[in-house]
Amino acid sequence: MTTRRVLVTGASGSGTTTLGRELAADWEVPHADADDYFWIPTDPPFTRKRPETERVELMRAVFLPRASWVLSGSLMGWGDSLIPMLDAVVFLTLAPEIRMRRLTERETIRYGGADTKASREFLDWARGYDDPGFAGRNLAGHEQWLARVPCPVFRLQSRDPVTELADSVTRWLDTEPAR
């Protein structure tokens, strides 16, 4: 591939941001997380969504014009107009119990051990990911979204160390024909 415009996506807690940062550092390209565009910065964080059109406009203005980049997070339901820009998608999966343990630990650190309403609501939302009937983002919806993506999709179980995952992605991309 001459450019690398890669989306790393998966359930919350599967390691998308961690792998995205690692790939960007390895490739010496910019990294962004979709949450940086999805949410308006607030204190506490993640309480006000940015309007969809503003998210896309902001991404197009400050991030997407670059030749190569790594974006982590989800574009499902709001970022479909960005799909043609992708060279590849990396889809991470992880056993629900490991994923929820990671998220619980992250929430504990984020909120200083406090059991907040926002944290409980987020964890309840994240727990629904593996339920195909869940109204929020879920695995079944992710699979449907991935089936419509015209670029190559690389699927990884994210239980391995991030350096090994990044090496796997790089090797895979090096064997993929350019679009």
Q: What pLDDT, in 10s, does the model give residues 35-63?
A: 999 999 998 788 899 999 999 999 999 89
Q: What pLDDT, in 10s, does the model give residues 59-75?
A: 999 899 999 999 999 99
Provide CB contacts within 8 A for 119, sequence distance 6+.
Answer: 107, 110, 111
DSSP code string of 108-119: HHHTTT---HHH
Q: Which tokens belong to 42? A: 């607030």
Strand segments, DSSP code E, in the chain are 5-10, 31-33, 69-72, 88-93, 153-157
Q: What pLDDT, in 10s, does the model give residues 20-30?
A: 999 999 999 99
Prediction pTM value: 0.93
Contact 11, 155 (CB under 8 A): no
Structural domain 5-95+137-175, CATH architecture? 3-Layer(aba) Sandwich (3.40)
> Residue ranges of the domains in the chain?
5-95+137-175
